[in-house]
Amino acid sequence: MTNTPPLKTQPTVRSCPFDPPEEYRTLREQEPVAPVTFPDGAAGWLVTRYDDVRTVLSDPRFSAKRIVLRPGGGGMEDAPPPPPGLFIMMDAPEHTRFRRLLTGQFTVRRMRQLAPAVEKIVAEQLDAMAAAEGPVDLVQAFALPVPSLVICELLGVPYADREEFQRNSATIVRLHSSPEEFQQAQAALRGYIHQLVLAKREKPTDDILSELVQSGELTDEELVGVGVLLLIAGHETTANMIALSTMCLLQNPEQLAALRADPSLMDGAVEELLRYLTVVQFGVRRTALEDVELHGQQIKEGSTVVASLASGNRDTEHLADDPEALDVGRPHSAHLAFGHGIHQCLGQQLARAELKAALSALLDRFPTLRLAVPVEEVPMRDDMLVYGVHELPVTW
């Protein structure tokens, strides 16, 4: 009988709220393609170096289609088809059809044109926050409403319905939701968007969902899938980046002072915060379509590979100059916060516009902003697919 070494799981425990778990540094140095067991019991590989992350996410031998996971990997024939419209789980050319329908809505130019509307939403939320007496929870008062209002307006989703879709969206990205809770939340969100699709077919309005309905390119089921995806992606990630960035700047007073002294640093600061904080905390999963050798490791066809965006962004391969430090004056780097390859975040220019408007106005409006509780008491989102804070009590 042989002694099998204990199986490793993906590192999850952080010693600093802004740093990935420390084991990632060791893995990058000693075991860049490491065997791991995922929480669902499946065996696979964890990739932690910048170049390898980019390879896994851009090489067509790795598929975004999720397979039936089982220890040792399964065959691609077990793969269920991706749910209709959920194009983040498709490969080219299936994926291309959806991406092409949407990219025109999220260009650099379109998002710059949208900036005044975003700034107005930001100002209104800050007015309301200023009128309240501190302390307030920055997540509920500001960080969540801003991207939620913006994506609702863009997509054509009534903001008044936010309580329900925000709750369902949170259930979907929470790690410990039971399969029943997950399915219930998904069905509720799908049902909600389906009603909207039907309403917009009847009476189109000036928004992305109406345009997609009118294009006639997608079935109702596909429209629902796209709508759900954009709604969730449009607010979870940005809301957490706004709140976590604020907390991070408050804990790095010299960086905050530099940014306040020279607001022209904001574009670069947003990129650096995206890199440094990388809220997609558990990485991106792919499946090998054939046997692939990576760094001398044989990855068998059907194996799951997780590419850690957070680890890649802290790699000296990416940044020779102290990647573990937050430096708002750093030149823009080709970071992995939005992923890489054909699935790189569709809404990244929107996220940039929102982060820039939100952080600029918040710092400007509240020069004495500070945490209202000791930093150790801020509840961190270790339990969510998207990292950040559950609450951020602040005062001024």
Partner 1 sequence: MKILIDEGKCVGAGTCVLAAADVFDQRDEDGIVVLLDDDPPHALLPQVMDAAARCPALAIEVVE
Binding string, 105-134, against partner 1, x = CB under 8 A? xxxxxx------------------------
Q: Which amino acid is at 250?
A: L
Q: Toward partner 1, which CB reaches closer, 250 or 265?
A: 265
Smallest distance, partner 1 to C-beta of residue 237, A: 15
For 124-173, give the secondary structure using H, E and C: HHHHHHHHCCCCEEHHHHHHCHHHHHHHHHHHCCCHHHHHHHHHHHHHHH
Q: Toward partner 1, which CB reaches closer, 266 or 345?
A: 345
Which among 384, 331, 300 is positioned nearest to 45, based on CA atoms?
300
104 part of the interface to partner 1, by CB under 8 A: yes
**E strand residue ranges, 164-282:** none
* Contact region with partner 1 (CB under 8 A), list: 21-29, 214-222, 308-316, 330-338: 330-338
340 part of the interface to partner 1, by CB under 8 A: yes
Q: Rounded distance, CA 145 to CA 118, Å? A: 11
**E strand residue ranges, the chain:** 33-37, 43-47, 62-63, 136-137, 284-288, 292-294, 297-299, 304-307, 370-371, 393-395
316 part of the interface to partner 1, by CB under 8 A: no
Smallest distance, partner 1 to C-beta of residue 54, A: 9
345 part of the interface to partner 1, by CB under 8 A: yes
Smallest distance, partner 1 to C-beta of residue 96, A: 8
User: Count of residues binding partner 1 (CB under 8 A)?
Assistant: 24
* Contact region with partner 1 (CB under 8 A), list: 73-81, 99-107, 292-300, 305-313: 99-107
- Report how far apart, in Å, the C-alpha atoms of 338 and of each of 8, 56, 204 are: 27, 14, 32
Smallest distance, partner 1 to C-beta of residue 188, A: 31
Smallest distance, partner 1 to C-beta of residue 348, A: 6
Which among 242, 239, 246 is positioned nearest to 394, based on CA atoms?
246
82 part of the interface to partner 1, by CB under 8 A: no
